[in-house]
Each structure stands twice: as C-alpha cells, then as structure tokens.
Amino acid sequence: MIRFSQVFKRYPNGFEALKNVSFYLPSGSMTFLTGHSGAGKSTLLKLITRSELASNGQVLVDERNLSRLWRHQIAAHRRAIGNVFQEHKLLYDRTIEDNVALPLVVAGLEYKEIGRRVRAALDKVGLLAKAKYYPRRLSGGEQQRVGIARAVVGRPRILLADEPTGNLDPQLSDEIMRLFFMFSQVDVTVLIATHDYRHIRAHSAAVLALKEGRLVEDEATP
C-alpha cells in the first residue's frame, strides 16, 4: 500500500512540485498517474522510492513512514519496490540476464535461486531466448521489457513504472499493461505514470491526475 497525507514538496530553489497531495493506494490496486510533464509525476514517484523527502506531510509505504527511514534502511526499502524507468537504465556492458539478475545479486541471493528467477522473469516478458544478448542488440521495446523483467524479478510489493509503454507499438504495450494488471491481481500495488489514455479506458483502474502539483481528480480515495 501507499498512502500520501497532505504531502508538500518544495525544492531548494523554491519550486513547489507537490502541493497538499493526499491519496491511498491499497495493496493489489492498479493506478494510473497522469499529468503534463512538470506536473509533479516524477517527484511523486521519487518520494515513494525515498529518492526525495517530503517537505511536509507523510508518505507511508507498507505502513512505513519514509521520513523515519534510517539511511541504511533506504536500500532495503528500494528493493521492495520494482521500478520501471522511462529511459530503461540498463547496463550496456552486461548481458540481458545479468541485467535482470542485478536486484537479486544486490540482495545477496544464492546463484541457483537467481538463475531460476531470472529465467522465469525473462520468460514472462518473452525474452528468454535472448538472455545471453547484450542490450544494444535489442530494440527499444525489447529493452523496455528487460527493464520490466528487472523490476519484477525481486517479487516486489510495489511496482512503479514511468511511461513504460512510450516506445512500444500498441499490441506490445497492451501486453505489457496486461502484465502489470496481473501483478496487481497477486496483491502488488501498481502505479503507472502515463500519457496513454487508451490504457486508462481499457483497464478499470483508478487515476491520479496531477496539475501543477495538485491532485485534480482522485478516484482512488474512497
């Protein structure tokens, strides 16, 4: 679950990225985050991963108040979150399987277990055959799917995605969205930042709409 209570975020240069934002996303929910660029979407996602800290208000992730997190607890907090980045953020000097394995390596899992889970994750995104490839041999859409496999391989409780279907053709992007939906079915809290209203209509998901740092429409609050 993710809960924002009257969250403000002011940057040191005085820019107020989020103003009085409150919402609640229960476990197993799938929510779309919309808004123009500069509306505060990235800031909101960064607050969840504790890459930024709220200036005012509370951010709770799985009942944990992020402003009370110790420095050494931040890494473990991020491992509980699967993050799909807009610009893939793959390591180009490592193979696909090594890229996907990274969250598990970081967590200190055993090799055998890592191999098993990596194959399962790659299978889910349809890239098992290209496990030994380097990212540059893959298309943009395939690289995005590698990023998704890496985000889900650690079986996170929270799944965040920033424009995950930006580079994909409609058919592939529908597939990816179905994948996200499946995760929400197994109790993962899914939050997807997107411009693509087609998906929002296709899935009966809640929407958080941001405009100039304020929530303008919030169907997630009961």
Closest-CA residue to 178 (of 157, 205, 155): 205
What's the closest the beta carbon of residue 204 comes to other proteins, in angstroms?
Answer: 30
Out of 41, 117, 145, 150, name the contact with other proteins by CB under 8 A: 150
12 binds other proteins (CB under 8 A): no
Pairing of strands 189-193, 30-34: parallel
103 binds other proteins, rule: CB under 8 A? yes
Close Cβ partners of 195 (under 8 Å, ≥ 6 residues apart): 34, 163, 166
Asked if residue 83 binds other proteins (CB under 8 A), the reply is: yes
Quick check: 182 binds other proteins (CB under 8 A)? no
HSE (CB half, 13 Å, CA atoms) of 125?
29
For the bound state, the minimum distance from the C-beta of residue 94 to other proteins, rounded and expressed in Å, comes to 9
Nearer of residues 43 and 173 to other proteins, judged by Cβ: 43
Phi, psi values for residue 88, rounded to 5°: 65, -55
Query: Among residues 12 and 222, whose Cβ is nearest to other proteins?
Result: 12
Closest to 118 in 3D by CA, of 146, 86, 157, 79:
146
User: How far is 143 from 148, CA to CA, in rounded Å?
Assistant: 9
Q: Per CB under 8 A, does 108 bind other proteins?
A: yes
Shortest CB 217 distance to other proteins, Å: 28
201 contact partners, CB below 8 Å, separation of at least 6: none
Structural contact between residues 61 and 158, judged by C-beta atoms closer than 8 angstroms: yes
Does 142 participate in binding other proteins (rule CB under 8 A)? no
Residue 65 contacts other proteins per CB under 8 A: no
Smallest gap from Cβ 87 to other proteins, in A, equals 11
Can you give the binding site for other proteins, defined by CB under 8 A? 49-53, 71-72, 74-81, 83, 85, 89-91, 102-103, 105-111, 150, 154
